[in-house]
Structure 1
Amino acid sequence: MGIFGSIKNAIFGNDKTEKQPPATSTAPPTTPATDTFNNSGVKFEPTTTVDVAERLDKIEGSDKLNWRTSIVDLLKLLSIDPSYENRKQLAGELGRTDYEGTAEDNIWLHKRVMQEIADHGGNVPPELLK
């Protein structure tokens, strides 16, 4: 699992239904299956809607971190190593290969993570997506 997968699991929880084998049925499907893709073109299964800000605000120590604007603080809050190497890997997972760790790169990365969380069913406040 990549860094974004760790972020997603920390916010949404582990999806235990993914690990269970699919139910077998002899009846044909009634509607065609549709694929869902995020902004990077990666296929994903939507999860249930989660109020992201409320969930993150409930994590102990959230009041001491600026997770709403800082990718480093967001990763710290989720107990994920915020090192440059991990942020660079995360940027690569989200489609950016020229990440250098500048302030602009980190702002982009935070917004991109918030957008991906929203794309996966998270209810993200609009001010975190701008």
Structure 2
Amino acid sequence: MSIFGNILNKIFHHGPDKTPDPKSGMNAPKAAPTPASAAPPPPASAPAAPAAAAQPAVDVGAVLEAMAAMKADHGGNYRTSIVDLLKLLDLDSSLAARKELAQELGVHAGADGTAEQNIALHRAVMDKLASNGGIVPDSLRG
């Protein structure tokens, strides 16, 4: 899986049976799924629902805040630092990983590992999360 795919997976699917509760910062159990046989099948002539309607938008800010609350260092400076964001998500934050992520996202700002590139990379990750259905607050967009 790509590095951005791992980021997306960690944020959008942050726990197999849990979802963060933004009020408490703790994980709350998800509602149990209903068996597929309990729901009547849609009529054959019914139009398919758009994919965006099938999956609710994910509040990226709330998810990251809840994850940071569970860390001893509270996630460091994940709001602006790509290194701290990757560490918060328990992903590789090495220069090689960031170079690969920059390639995936088409980020060509500054030399590899510079502050300029890292800032552009964080911004690109947040923009890409938003374009994939995430609700990204302005405070995370740098």
TM-score of the alignment, normalized to the shorter chain, above 0.5: yes
Q: Superposition pairs for residues 17-56 of structure 1, below 5 Å?
A: 27=44, 30=47, 47-56=55-64
Map of 2:105 onto structure 1: 94
Map of 1:63 onto structure 2: 74
Task: Please give the alpha-carbon distance, in whole angstroms, between the structure 2 residues aligned to 1:92 and 1:11.
Answer: 21
2:3 aligned with 1:8, yes or no? no
Higher relative contact order (CA 8 A, sep 6+): 1
Percent of aligned positions that are identical: 46
Task: Please give the alpha-carbon distance, in whole angstroms, between the structure 2 residues aligned to 1:79 and 1:8.
Answer: 13
* Aligned structure 1 segments of 4 or more residues deviating by more than 3 angstroms: 27-31
Residue by residue over 1:109-128, the C-alpha shift from the partner in whole angstroms, topping out at 9 and shown as x without a partner, is 00000000011111100232
Map of 1:124 onto structure 2: 136
TM-score (norm. length: structure 2): 0.66
1:67 to partner: Cα distance: 0.3
Task: Please give the alpha-carbon distance, in whole angstroms, between the structure 1 residues aligned to 2:46 and 2:83.
Answer: 45
1:13 to partner: Cα distance: 0.8
Task: Please give the alpha-carbon distance, in whole angstroms, between the structure 2 residues aligned to 1:64 and 1:2.
Answer: 22
- Bigger radius of gyration: 2
Residue by residue over 1:62-119, the C-alpha shift from the partner in whole angstroms, topping out at 9 and shown as x without a partner, is 6241100000000000000100000000000001357511000000000000000011
Task: Please give the alpha-carbon distance, in whole angstroms, between the structure 2 residues aligned to 1:100 and 1:12.
Answer: 28
Against the structure 1 CA distance between its residues 66 and 92, is the aligned structure 2 distance closer, same or farther, given a 3 Å change threshold? same
1:48 to partner: Cα distance: 2.7
1:2 to partner: Cα distance: 0.4
Two-structure CA RMSD over aligned residues (Å): 2.7
**Higher strand share goes to which structure?**
2
1:28 to partner: Cα distance: 6.9
Unaligned 5+ runs, structure 2: 17-41
Task: Please give the alpha-carbon distance, in whole angstroms, between the structure 1 residues aligned to 2:84 and 2:12.
Answer: 18
Task: Please give the alpha-carbon distance, in whole angstroms, between the structure 1 residues aligned to 2:45 and 2:5.
Answer: 32
Task: Please give the alpha-carbon distance, in whole angstroms, between the structure 1 residues aligned to 2:108 and 2:46.
Answer: 40
How many matched pairs?
110
Residue by residue over 1:20-65, the C-alpha shift from the partner in whole angstroms, topping out at 9 and shown as x without a partner, is xxxxx9x57847xx9xxxxxxxxxx755311111111111116241
